[in-house]
Chains A and B, each alone.
Chain A
Amino acid sequence: MKIILVDDEQKFINMLAKRLIMRGIQADIAFTGEDAIKKVRDTVYDAAVLDIKMPGISGIQLKKELKVIDSDLKFIFVTGHGVASKSESNMIEEDLYLSKPLDIEILIEDLNKIIKNG
């Protein structure tokens, strides 16, 4: 399984990536949307874990752009807000979203679920 983590909280995704790698998941990281687009163009990923609120391109916008590049890509959203706001939840209702701080086991479980379903 090869995934990409996108979040501006660098320490957070560093740690998360390290822990996922320990669990046998190939995890790349990107701190900005632009970086993520570049990486998705170069590499084929099974899933992308996106932070909703990011400087520049937001998670939701990023999903649209990534979907254009790789239509098979699966998404999981991560948000610092307890609940995503109404307009946000409309956008992501077909996707999973997890709130911060997140449990790595649940993330892996969800990743497995969406990749298997696809």
Chain B
Amino acid sequence: MKRKKRIATVSLAGCFGCHMSLLDMDEHILELMELAEFDRSPLTDFKTFSRRCDIGVIEGGCCNEENVHTLQEFRKHCDVLVAVGQCAIMGGLPVMRNAIMHSEDPLRECLEEAYSSSAKVYNPNNQIPNDAALPLLLDKVYTCAEVVKIDYQIPGCPPTGEVLWATLAALIKGEPAPQEYHMIKYD
């Protein structure tokens, strides 16, 4: 029997919608299980790579140092990297923080808006979360391709379950990901 292909997935600075869309392939999941197995993924309890993987699926861009580190790990351990969705490709919603108008320091403004003491927020020391357990936020949100080499980009917010199924099915067979006209939608 041919070895099953190994797939790893991760959600970086994304909303998990791309992972949900992966599950929207519904019954195809059963077919997929015949051809492939999941390694590191939020859908399994493999928190690190247990082995080298054939396909890495990335949702979301990078908004903190941990995202960068994870993305580099994926590049190192996967043969083919597929960035799925607007967040991974162009930054998506999180990237809106890069573009706050008339602001010298958008990140600081975001943090102050969320945590500064006010009538609604109880924060007697006026402290912004800064514990060592929290990864450092990046100055800006970065797309995946700004951090590592990406082999395929599948647009959509999210790409539909059918498109993701077609993509994985092709890559599993060793064919290039299909990029047909009707599959390329930016919403």
Report whether chain A binds chain B: no
A residues adjacent to B (C-beta < 8 A): none
B residues adjacent to A (C-beta < 8 A): none
